[in-house]
Amino acid sequence: MYAEVLPAGLLRGQVVTCRGPAAYSIGLGLVARAVAVGSWLAMVDLDQFSPEALVEFDIPLHRVVGVSAGDDLANVLSAVFDGFDAVMIPASRYRGALARRIAQRIRAKGVALVVIDDNSEIRVDDTASLGDIELAGTDIRWEGIGWGAGRLLARYLTVTSTGRRSPRPLQSEMQLPPENDVYGEWSHDDQTNGVVDELIDRSPDSEELRWRLRVV
């Protein structure tokens, strides 16, 4: 499980890139523990996630907020980093000079950033050097479909972890959604219950920001 590819768990101030056709599932499994123990998750410009998918990973919906950044990504992210413990963002929005500024900001704020890259057309050098750790899924196998009947119940895959601080790649055979949550430690602040209202109130354009924030 995740403990085998991320022995220290999901750390604050860390950028983790999830790659490949199972990138979304890997990312959800990665943040599930943090949200389950009380942290808040912002999903920026990731409208394709459904509440059903979050529930399958036992992620409490009341602690997940979808954020539409539009053309004001830098300012919206600045506000999000002030109020959320973990943030997920597509790789298409995390590139170039802006990505480097984002990485510096999340380290200063102690936010865990998960970058979702399921698009093989994005050049590797666009994002590879910007993350601390990369999790890539391969050898994907599905369970649940029989001879013309049934429904998908689980996905099995090999997840490989590489990173600038890793002396060698780490691998783990996983089931997603997982049967058990074997993750590293994660700390959270119980005072974040009013984080969405505080985030909106602190924004100079609170009414404009309000429609961008919605509880999933």
Per-residue pLDDT tens digits for 147-201: 767 777 778 999 999 987 677 899 999 998 876 544 444 544 444 444 455 544 5
Domain of residue 103, CATH code: 3.40.50.300
Tokens (6 digits) for 178? 């997982």
The answer to whether residues 44 and 69 touch, using CB atoms and an 8 Å cutoff, is yes
Spatial contact of 176 and 157, defined as CB atoms under 8 Å apart? yes
Tens digit of pLDDT for each residue in 17-41?
Answer: 999 989 999 999 999 989 998 899 9
pLDDT of residue 89: 95
- Asked if residue 75 belongs to a domain, the reply is yes
**Strand ordering across the sheet containing 170-176:** 170-176, 150-163, 133-145, 15-19, 112-117, 86-90, 41-44, 64-67, 213-215
Does residue 79 belong to any structural domain of this protein? yes
Report if residue 214 sits inside a domain.
no
Mean pLDDT of the chain: 79
Residue ranges of alpha helices (H) inside 20-157 are 23-36, 51-56, 73-83, 96-109, 124-127
Look at residue 155 and tell me if it is in a domain: yes
Q: Is residue 213 part of a domain?
A: no
The mean pLDDT value for 82-90 works out to 94
Q: Range of 93's domain?
A: 2-208
Confidence (pTM): 0.79
Q: Are 9 and 66 in contact (CB under 8 A)?
A: no
For residue range 123-149, list pLDDT tens digits in order.
444 444 557 899 999 998 888 777 767
Confirm if 13 and 106 have CB atoms less than 8 A apart.
Answer: yes
Number of domains in the chain: 1
- Residue 42 pairs in a beta bridge with 65, 87
Q: Is residue 201 part of a domain?
A: yes
